[in-house]
Amino acid sequence: MKSLEVLTGEKAAAAIHALNDECRRRILDALRSREMPTPEIADLISNKGHDQVKPQTVRYHLKELERAGLIEQTRCVPAGDDDTHIMKKVWRATAESIFIATGKGAVPQQEGMEELDIAAVMRKLGFEPPSEDFVKETTMKYLEWDSLWRRGKELADQSLGTIPELSPAEYLVLRRLLSVVQLHNVDYARYWEVSKEVADMFRKAYLEGIGKNPDVY
């Protein structure tokens, strides 16, 4: 699954059309947390206090989401015992986050995007980066921190994929925890070291900006 999918033109229009339905939005939200077979999706949506959703209705919504490029089928698994010939489809979202661009200049640039975002977000929040070198160093530390977290996230997804009957909320909470605790010893130690470095850098920029932007806080 991609971390970010940018949709433009016809793809953006198709996504907007597909998401103009509450049930499809709930399905996509569930599949952003983990992959699920069709019957489990139907049960999950129905058990959230909403009206009972029929499996055929869920299958229709899945096809609409797939047609819009928002979800994809990953595999088929037996619907019952291993010797059954009846199979059920397993689905997942194509990306954790979806950006729908609606005009010129709306598409985020991938190269250098992290540095631009970090500097811009700092200033929007009223933070005051001391220098461009500070921004570059913070960006490098942040990217290292993010890389370590994503490495742990892959391990967490593998572990959680073996556990049945997890709700999306449970999955996200456990993945956040396991993404750190399942890191190998060297990566685990470095994760906390670089986490403090990144937090200290943002804290410094935050303190520098308090006096100049009091209304932000």
Any domain includes 185 = yes
In a domain, 108, yes or no: no
179 with 212, same domain: the answer is yes
Beta strands 36-37 and 87-93 are antiparallel
Boundary-marking domain end, from 100, 123, 145: 100
Query: Beta-carbon neighbour count of residue 71 at 10 Å?
Result: 25
Q: Based on the fold, state whether residues 188 and 127 are members of the same structural domain.
A: yes
Same domain as 162, residue 191: yes
Residue 127 in any domain: the answer is yes
Of 100, 132, 157, at which residue does a domain stop? Answer: 100
Instruction: Based on the fold, state whether residues 96 and 167 are members of the same structural domain.
Output: no
Domain extent, residue 189, equals 113-216
Would you call 97 helix, strand, or coil by DSSP?
strand
Please report the pLDDT score of residue 216 as a whole number: 45
Structure tokens at 65: 């989401």
Would you say residue 7 lies in a domain?
A: yes
Residues 211 and 125 in one domain: yes
Q: Tell how strand 2-7 and strand 71-78 pair up.
A: unpaired
Helix axes 113-124, 132-160, angle to 10 degrees: 110
Q: How many domains does the chain have?
A: 2
Low-confidence ranges of the chain (pLDDT < 50): 104-115, 211, 213-217
Closest CA to 48 of 29, 71, 70, 21: 29
Question: Would residue 106 count as lying in a domain?
Answer: no
pLDDT at 77: 84
pLDDT recorded at residue 82: 63
Do residues 210 and 119 both lie within one domain? Answer: yes
Rounded Cα distance, 115 and 127, in Å? 15
> Does any domain span residue 15?
yes
Which pLDDT does position 138 carry in this prediction? 85
Domain boundary among 53, 73, 100: 100
Is the whole model's pTM more than 0.85, yes or no? no
Helix %, strand %, coil % of the chain (to 5): 60, 15, 30
